[in-house]
């Protein structure tokens, strides 16, 4: 089996003899043998798997709502008091995703500089998330939604989610690809269940009650998880923080892999946001829009785990190629031809599996970057990669609005391309294709 992602190089490990659990985080102090054996085992054991199960659910709760935002967008644009001025509504969901992604470098840098923040960040993030949901339920204008469901939710999500990434790096060494794949599959799992729950609540009780119910559920489910989602290495056994080493950003490995990540992210979110509206435009009952989003997110569960397993065995650019081919064909062929329910559902499953699994390549991307830049900090590297995805999600909102504003190609092209959503279909396919630029760079010897 190939070396796993985020794995710390031997040069960064403390020279502790007879290690039972492999190399752990580089800021671990040199321990006496009896102290070393006091740590719970990495990669195996009840505590490690309970931790991973907790990560799965935290992932599901934090990212499930933003990734199901298409249902809220459809509701806001068709109901008062927001439908009279819907111009900024797509920005709500993309700003939540974008800020959580773009805030990653800042969060990881702060937790590297002040490790004690990791302990309190999860609790603070949970509180802010719940407050944002309750505040959103009182919104009466689109800008209120942007601030609460977009910005404030993103701040809480970043504080809750960022330490979890660092904790996974401590708990899993040999199986990092699998561990991150399982954790990120939580988003897809929430995407299977949340759309149906939100659709039912929105239809029956309006958005105010829906968000308050979700705030209560968030508290009851995520609160107890914080007792198992915690650091493996005690704070007393860590070195003083090192200066951040950002030289990895100059390496060709980082530049090309990050370039593909950014380009892929530009179009990745468009199907998730617009599928409910696309279904409604075709005159199909809106329930099938919910089903389409749910199937797409359900496919992400299996896509993330599948890609995570591949990352532990193959070079990251090879795995990126697999994701790229599947996502590109899904967009151009399946969505492009989709003018009926069966094809829409097939597209949702295929695109969710291949495009949704792309995030699991981050484990391999970080591994390759740390191969050429051994002094790079795991959290910082991951933060910049996540920020790259955030650039796409931020731009996606206003860009998608401009692409379909005048309904170009409507009635002038066939099938899905002639619905007015044609530019979205083409843009999604093109960005998925160029998301594989890292594979091409490796083939010509640039990385």
Global pTM reads 0.73
Q: Is 445 exposed, middle or buried (0-12, 13-18, 19+ CB in 10 A)?
A: exposed
CB 349 within 8 A of CB 296: yes
Q: Does 17 fall in a domain?
A: no
- Find the length of the chain: 447
Q: Does 392 fall in a domain?
A: yes
Q: Does 28 fall in a domain?
A: no
Number of domains in the chain: 1
Per-residue pLDDT of the chain (447 residues; tens, 9 = 90+): 433 333 333 333 433 443 334 444 444 444 444 444 467 777 777 888 888 888 888 888 888 788 777 778 878 888 778 777 777 787 787 778 778 888 888 888 888 777 778 778 888 999 999 999 999 888 888 888 889 988 899 999 888 888 888 888 888 877 777 888 888 788 778 877 877 788 888 888 888 888 898 899 889 988 888 888 887 777 655 555 566 778 899 999 999 999 999 999 888 888 877 888 888 888 887 778 878 877 887 888 888 889 888 988 899 999 999 999 999 999 999 998 888 888 999 999 999 999 988 988 988 898 899 898 888 888 888 889 988 887 877 787 778 878 887 777 777 777 778 788 888 999 999 999 999 999 999 999 888
Q: What residue numbers bound the domain in which 91 lies?
A: 48-232+247-443
Give the closest residue to 2 by CA, choosing from 183, 169, 178.
178
- At residue 81, the 3 state secondary structure works out as coil
CB 104 within 8 A of CB 390: yes
The predicted pLDDT at position 238 comes to 58
Q: Does 427 fall in a domain?
A: yes
The predicted pLDDT at position 5 comes to 38
Question: Cα separation of 322 and 432, whole Å?
Answer: 11
CB atoms within 10 A of CB 335: 29
Q: Does 90 fall in a domain?
A: yes
81: preceding bond cis by omega (within 30 degrees) = yes
Provide the CATH number for the domain around residue 417: 1.20.1250.20
**Residue position matching structure tokens 């290690």:** 19
Q: Does 199 fall in a domain?
A: yes
Question: Cα separation of 113 and 126, whole Å?
Answer: 22
Q: Does 173 fall in a domain?
A: yes
Q: Does 376 fall in a domain?
A: yes
Q: Is 286 exposed, middle or buried (0-12, 13-18, 19+ CB in 10 A)?
A: middle
């Amino acid at each position: 089996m190939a070396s796993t992602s985020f794995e710390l190089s031997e040069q960064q490990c403390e020279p502790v003899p007879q290690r039972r659990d492999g190399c752990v985080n580089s800021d671990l102090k040199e321990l006496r043998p009896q102290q070393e054996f006091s740590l719970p085992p990495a990669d195996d054991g009840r505590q490690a798997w309970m931790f991973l199960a907790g990560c799965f659910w935290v992932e599901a709760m934090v990212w499930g709502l933003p990734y199901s935002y298409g249902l809220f967008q459809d509701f806001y644009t068709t109901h008062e008091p927001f439908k009279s001025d819907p111009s900024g509504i797509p920005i709500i969901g993309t700003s939540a995703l974008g800020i959580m992604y773009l805030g990653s470098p800042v969060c990881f840098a702060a937790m590297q500089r002040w490790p004690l923040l990791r302990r309190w960040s999860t609790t603070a993030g949970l509180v802010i998330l719940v407050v944002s949901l309750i505040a959103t339920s009182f919104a009466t204008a689109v800008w209120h939604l942007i601030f609460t469901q977009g910005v404030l939710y993103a701040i809480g999500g970043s504080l809750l989610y960022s330490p979890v990434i660092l904790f996974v790096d401590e708990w899993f060494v040999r199986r990092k690809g699998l561990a991150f794949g399982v954790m990120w599959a939580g988003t897809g799992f929430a995407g299977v269940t949340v759309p149906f729950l939100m659709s039912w609540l929105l239809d029956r009780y309006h958005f105010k009650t829906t968000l308050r119910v979700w705030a209560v559920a968030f508290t009851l489910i995520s609160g107890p998880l914080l007792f198992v989602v915690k650091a493996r290495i005690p704070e007393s056994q860590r070195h003083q923080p090192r200066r951040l080493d950002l030289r990895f950003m100059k390496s060709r490995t980082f530049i090309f892999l990050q370039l593909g990540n950014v380009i892929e992210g530009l179009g990745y979110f468009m199907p998730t946001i617009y599928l409910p509206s696309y279904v409604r435009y075709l005159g199909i009952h809106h329930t099938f829009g919910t089903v389409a989003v749910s199937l797409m997110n359900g496919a992400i569960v299996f896509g993330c785990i599948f890609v995570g397993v591949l990352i532990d065995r193959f070079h990251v650019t090879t795995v990126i190629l697999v994701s790229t081919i599947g996502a590109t064909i899904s967009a151009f062929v399946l969505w492009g031809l989709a003018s009926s329910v069966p094809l829409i559902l097939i597209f949702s499953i295929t695109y969710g599996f291949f495009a949704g699994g792309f995030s699991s390549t981050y484990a391999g991307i970080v591994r390759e970057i740390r191969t050429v830049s051994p002094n790079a900090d795991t959290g910082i590297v991951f933060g910049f990669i996540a920020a790259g995805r955030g650039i796409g999600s931020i731009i996606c909102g206003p860009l998608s609005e401009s692409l379909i504003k005048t309904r170009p190609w409507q009635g002038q092209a066939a099938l899905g391309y002639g619905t007015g959503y044609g530019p979205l279909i083409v843009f999604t396919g093109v960005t998925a294709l160029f998301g594989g630029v890292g594979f091409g760079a490796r083939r010509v010897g640039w990385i």
